Amino acid sequence: MTLDQFITVFVSAVGLLFSLGYYPQAWRIWTKKSAEDISLLSFSIFVLGTTVWLAYGFYKEDLAIISSFFFGAIGSWLVFGLTIYFRRKNR
């Protein structure tokens, strides 16, 4: 394995690991049926950032970027959507 290949695999793995960070928050919202302590502004920024980076990865056809942001985009949208859903439901 070349250094370039190693760096690509390493960055992809770290990106995937960080992207999984949204899922515990989504699980917490789902199990508590509440999102009152979630910053909607923060997750709006996360949604924008992960979605733009994912689109950029597809544009560049860069597997490292795509694999790093694919689950992050889904996770950030999941938290964002659950936050809106439970805030409306619990009014």
Task: Copy the structure tokens of residue 23.
Answer: 């899922």
Contact 47/76 with Cβ under 8 angstroms? yes
Q: For residue range 41-60, list pLDDT tens digits in order.
A: 999 999 999 999 999 999 99
At residue 71 the predicted structure's pLDDT band, cuts being 50, 70 and 90, is very high
Q: What mean pLDDT is reported for the chain? A: 94
Which of 23, 72, 25 has its CA nearest to residue 52?
72
Query: CA 63, CA 72: separation in Å to the nearest integer?
Result: 14
Structural domains of the chain sorted by starting position, each given as residue range(s) with its CATH number in brackets: 10-89 (1.20.1280.290)
